[in-house]
Chains A and B, each alone.
Chain A
């Protein structure tokens, strides 16, 4: 399990990670989502021991990560822009990873490169951005580490590849003790793969929960209530995150169980009432708006 205990990091005037406390349980795919500059990369770099937190602790399996090779041997970090040795081909990188990570699955790597049609004799510098990412993912996946930290690794992969990688993750999780942590601001990518997410905003962790739990705990209510007083009573009775109105149609983003929300709405005798699940993207936008980050401010 990866534990962040009040981890804090400031770069000059930028509070990149603001006293974050969270846990990433073993055996789950954890998604780290957040707006640009939210601190996702910094958090991942702290988790894999590249950056030392100014204060607080980052532990993997109960032991600090920074300058601890034994712990770091269980963590593989895939940067958003992977680095390969100059003039290296995929075999040279494989050999290097083999040397660094004793559990590197060379056989699997060779078979996967073949399946992904990555030419092993071709210089990595001549690979496309997507191919470089594929190579990076395969190296990370085959390194045999317990934790694989992917910093926006899925960006740049075509949908087919994304699906293939997700399958590989699922397969690895079945076969061994494997916990991928994936950061992205492309929420749709994470929606169908993550078991849990952490939502970062301006260095702060707004929430960290199982995805199903999040989905159950927030929903969208659409209703039409002719009586203004009843409408107001409904709003007061709900934990409203966001209110939108289009003519007489009231759309509320609400915290709470879907059936409970629907019952409360029906109690106000609406002409129409319906509860819809939120997409991860909607959850993200809602939560960040609650935290004072309005997407409209950004656009207009």
Chain B
């Protein structure tokens, strides 16, 4: 006789047994989705409703931007937790029977193939969550529609958010099923699921941390390879990516596909294991005992190192000194803990001593690899003929240029920190500089702070790979090479943002002179372009020594749309911006590109400003100042560098010392003139050789002229 049991009937019978879970899911999702959304909308409209600061349209725009986050849990962490909890509960309800001999005997004795049994349990778990979730998402959208915020674009964003929520659930659900297949007990199955869920993140994060702790040249700008791998290999990373997804503009098809693929892989692995699941495994910690020592070693090594690094970070202990003993200690404790989980018998903690020994040895080996740099990370330099281009960034560049990277393209987060690649003609010089960095790292040669310079290099190889390193360079070496690099016009063009930025995006130009107050220049587009042309001419002509050694007269700042203020475009404005090149930018959010300094030798710029009636004030007129407050650093107080100044001031000057610093406040014109004569405004130099004294001057100008503050040399 042939057994033809209806799949639908099996599903129905299974669902009957999970009524409690269905009810619980409905209640929790109903409360945390439509009910919470209505409360949130009401509260938002009450607290941030139209006022003098925000218009109704802006408020609706904000709500639309945030609304999808109410569906995928980004705006409500309890919903995110619900995805994880229901994923685990669905797995336990559907597959927990394999951990009970009675239940397992019952189900496995039935004339149903294991794969069919698996499909029934899996589908029931999915339906138990997805059906209430989709209904609650629809109710949430309905709540939004009642408040008048829904439109086609937001509806699509909400649908994607719901898909992200389902993928979040599936990642946890499938991980838990796989964890259950690896174990014969539910608690250890959940532990196994946790290990699978975080394992890739744990390993990759630990490797990154070890590189940071042990490698002198390690440099991780923005998103590292480990970070990228985490988002691909780790269910946790993908869960996080799905949860952080908030709307149409945050939509990343790759993340969705990767989450779906990861989910399928976990499910496939679980199915394969289920078909081989030994029925006698029920009640044992591991369903495949032969895997016990391997699992122990695989978990123990990264987890021990991670715990040691975490403990160090938590206590603020010295970076590398404690790592080794703490890791070994953590390995021993973890081995004992895992053995206890395996055997549930304190007397048998040493039973798996061989795998414990391998774990401890593995931890020691990993730490030795990093401690002694056995793979030559710190001394590695790609062959020059392999290099396509080099990006170079001295540690001082951001302070001087203020906006390194904004001109290089907004999407490449890594390279943002480096600025534009140096022209090919400069590659050899930079390579030579990097070689000197490798030498100083290898020889561990250090010098006084004035003689050294930290710098990061990004070697972009012809293979498409990027190698980043940070070296300590000899200042004079760096100076000489920079001088040579500055002979190359292309390098100048690559270094200064003004050459590469899209002028059409510049919405404002401001001028800051000795008064340290910023004045917006009301320029037409034509005037703006001619001013920038003049600046560019001067920048191309200026000698490197000027940028390094002279103080500028003034500074120009340029306002551009903030490339990192990526938000959902308001639906109402969609039509207006449909034709724009980059619709992801919020035009209201600005970033100020500073660091366009004007030196005395910038004849073109200075002439342009004079022609157009903009006067640069080279020093502050004491008559314009109502009050000056000079904050003295501990060093200045101890050295007594201002003692004679303080002694020469009138009786109206007030000097008080408190704690580690001193505070000098003057309001008399002569006193103000004396203080201004004895202080010089700090301007950064390109290689960061000029240091601020740590003193600080607050200037309150006469009424109507504002106030300013700057560091003092």
Complex contacts, A103 vs chain B, CB 8 Å: 1
Asked if B6 is an interface residue, CB under 8 A from chain A, the answer is yes
Known interface pairs A99-B5, A103-B1. Does A82 touch B102 (Cβ–Cβ under 8 Å)?
A: yes
Partner of B13, one of A49, A67, A75, A96: A96
Min distance, Cβ B100 to any Cβ of chain A, angstroms: 8
Residues of B within 8 A of A77 (CB): 105, 109
Interface residues of A in 77-111 (CB under 8 A from B): 77, 79, 81-83, 85-86, 92, 95-96, 99-103
- CB neighbours of A99 from chain B (8 A): 5-6, 9-10, 13
Whether A70 contacts B3 in the complex (CB less than 8 A), given A99-B10, A99-B13, comes out as: yes
Q: Which B residues lie within 8 Å of A74 (CB)? A: 1
When each residue 98-133 of chain B gets 1 if its CB lies under 8 Å from chain A and 0 otherwise, what string results?
001011111011111110000000000000000000
B240 within 8 A of A: no
Least CB distance from B273 to A in Å reads 14
- Chain B facing A: main interface SS: helix
B-facing residues in A12-55 (Cβ within 8 Å): 12, 45, 48-52
Interface hits, B268-305 → A, CB 8 Å: 278-280, 289
- Indicate if A72 sits at the interface (CB-CB under 8 A): yes
> How does the 8 Å CB contact mask read for B246-286 relative to A, with 1 for contact and 0 for none?
00000000000000000000000000000000111000000
Shortest B328–chain A CB gap in Å is 31
Q: Compute how far the CA of A51 lies from the CA of B277 in the bound complex, rounded to whole angstroms.
A: 10
Note all chain B residues with C-beta closer than 8 A to A81: 102
A11 touches B280 (CB 8 A): yes
Judging by beta carbons under 8 Å apart, are A70 and B1 in contact? yes
Q: Is the CB of B114 within 8 A of A70?
A: no
B109 touches A49 (CB 8 A): yes
Specify which chain A residues have a CB less than 8 angstroms from the CB of B103 in the assembled complex: 83
> Is B656 an interface residue when CB atoms closer than 8 A count as contact?
no
Least CB separation from A99: chain B residue: B9
Q: Specify which chain B residues have a CB less than 8 angstroms from the CB of A100 in the assembled complex.
A: 5, 110-112
What is the CA–CA distance of A74 and B1 in the complex, to the nearest angstrom? 8
Rounded to whole angstroms, the CA-CA distance of A67 and B278 in the bound complex is: 13
A73 within 8 A of B: yes
Bound complex: CA of A61 vs CA of B17, how far in Å?
34
- Report if B47 contacts A (CB, 8 A): no
Residue of B nearest to A51 (CB): B279
List A contacts of B10 (CB < 8 A). 99
A159 at the interface (CB under 8 A from B): no
Q: Is A69 an interface residue (CB 8 A)?
A: yes
Most chain A beta-carbon neighbours within 10 Å: one of B10, B113, B280: B280
Q: Which residues of B contact A86 (CB under 8 A)?
A: 17
Interface residues on B, range: 20 to 34
Complex CA gap A217/B13 in Å reads: 52
B105 A73 Cβ-Cβ under 8 A: no
A72 to B9, CA, bound (A): 19
A83 partner, pick from B2, B3, B4, B102, beta carbons under 8 A: B102
Chain B residues closer than 8 Å to A51, beta-carbon distance: 278-280
- Cα–Cα distance between A279 and B114 once the two chains are bound (Å): 43
Interface centre among B1, B17, B103, B278, by most chain A C-beta atoms within 10 angstroms, is B1
Given known pairs A11-B280, A12-B289, A50-B279, the reply for A70 and B104 (CB within 8 Å) is: no
- Which residue of A is nearest B114, CB measured? A67
Which single member of B105, B106, B109 contacts A72 (CB below 8 Å)?
B109
From 372 to 414 in chain B, residues with beta carbon under 8 angstroms from any chain A beta carbon are none
Count chain A CB atoms within 10 A of each CB in B16, B17, B110 and give the residue with the most. Answer: B110
Summed over the interface, the residue pairs from A and B with CB atoms below 8 Å come to a total of 73
Residues of B contacting A49 with CB < 8 Å?
Answer: 108-109
Chain B positions within 8 Å of A95 at CB level? 13
Contacts of A79 in B (CB 8 A): 102, 105-106, 109
CA distance in complex: A178, B380 (Å): 78
Within the assembled complex, what's the spacing in Å between the Cα atoms of A177 and B9?
28
Cα–Cα, bound, A274→B102 (Å): 49
A72 and B114 within 8 A (CB): no
Give the residues in chain A near B104, CB-CB below 8 Å. Answer: 50
Q: Which residues of B287-326 are within 8 A (CB) of A?
A: 289
- Smallest beta-carbon distance B21→chain A, Å: 12
Residues in B neighbouring A102, C-beta threshold 8 A:
1, 3-4
Minimum CB–CB distance from B446 to chain A (whole Å) comes to 59
Q: Shortest CB–CB separation between residue A291 and chain B, in angstroms? A: 24
- Give the Cβ gap from B402 to chain A, nearest Cβ, in Å: 66
Chain B window 1-38, contacts with chain A (Cβ cutoff 8 Å), 1 for yes, 0 for no = 11111100110010011000000000000000000000
* CA distance in complex: A23, B33 (Å): 62
| B353–chain A nearest beta-carbon distance, Å | 18
Bound Cα distance A86, B106 (Å): 13
Tell me the nearest residue of chain A to B112, going by C-beta.
A69
Closest to A146 in B: B1
- Shortest distance from the beta carbon of B639 to any chain A beta carbon, whole Å: 77
Across the two chains, which residue of chain B brings its CB closest to A9? Answer: B280
Residue numbers in A under 8 Å from B280 (CB-CB): 11, 51
Report whether A50 and B105 are in contact in the complex, using a CB–CB cutoff of 8 Å.
Answer: yes
B2 and A72: CB pair below 8 A?
no
User: Taking the nearest CB of chain B, how far is it from the CB of A277, in angstroms?
Assistant: 37
Q: Are A50 and B109 in contact (CB under 8 A)?
A: yes
For A92, the closest partner residue in chain B by CB is B16
Q: In angstroms, how far is the closest chain A Cβ from the Cβ of B691?
A: 70
User: Are A85 and B17 interface neighbours, CB within 8 A?
Assistant: yes
Q: Taking the nearest CB of chain A, how far is it from the CB of B272, in angstroms?
A: 14
Q: How far is the CA of A48 from the CA of B106 in the complex (A)?
A: 11
**Smallest distance from the beta carbon of A52 to chain B beta carbons, Å?**
8
A81 to B13, CA, bound (A): 22
A150–chain B nearest beta-carbon distance, Å:
12
- Segment 210-262 of A: residues with Cβ below 8 Å from B: none
Q: In the complex, A85→B112 CA distance in Å?
A: 18
| Structural contact, B108 and A50, CB atoms closer than 8 A | yes
Partner of B113, one of A67, A92, A101: A67
Interface centre among A45, A50, A74, A96 (most CB of B within 10 A): A50
B115, closest chain A residue (CB): A67
Q: Complex: how many Å from CA A197 to CA B297?
A: 48
List residues 66-107 of chain B with CB under 8 A from any CB of chain A.
100, 102-106
Give complex CA distance A82, B102 in Å. Answer: 7
Task: Contact check, B17 vs A69: say whether CB atoms are below 8 A apart.
Answer: no
Q: What is the chain B residue whose CB lies nearest that of A84?
A: B106
Known: A50-B279, A72-B110, A102-B1. 20 other contacts (CB 8 A): A48-B109, A50-B108, A51-B279, A67-B113, A69-B111, A69-B113, A71-B111, A73-B1, A73-B2, A73-B111, A75-B109, A75-B111, A76-B109, A79-B106, A85-B17, A96-B13, A99-B13, A100-B5, A101-B111, A102-B3
Top 3 A-B residue pairs of the complex, sorted by shortest distance between their CB atoms: A72-B111, A73-B3, A73-B111
Residues of A within 8 A of B (CB): 11-12, 45, 48-52, 67, 69-77, 79, 81-83, 85-86, 92, 95-96, 99-103
* 23 pairs, CB–CB < 8 Å, chain A vs chain B: A50-B104, A50-B109, A51-B278, A51-B279, A51-B280, A52-B278, A67-B114, A69-B3, A69-B113, A70-B111, A71-B111, A72-B111, A73-B3, A75-B111, A76-B109, A83-B102, A83-B106, A85-B17, A95-B13, A99-B6, A100-B110, A101-B111, A102-B1
Residues on B facing A (Cβ under 8 Å): 1-6, 9-10, 13, 16-17, 100, 102-106, 108-114, 278-280, 289
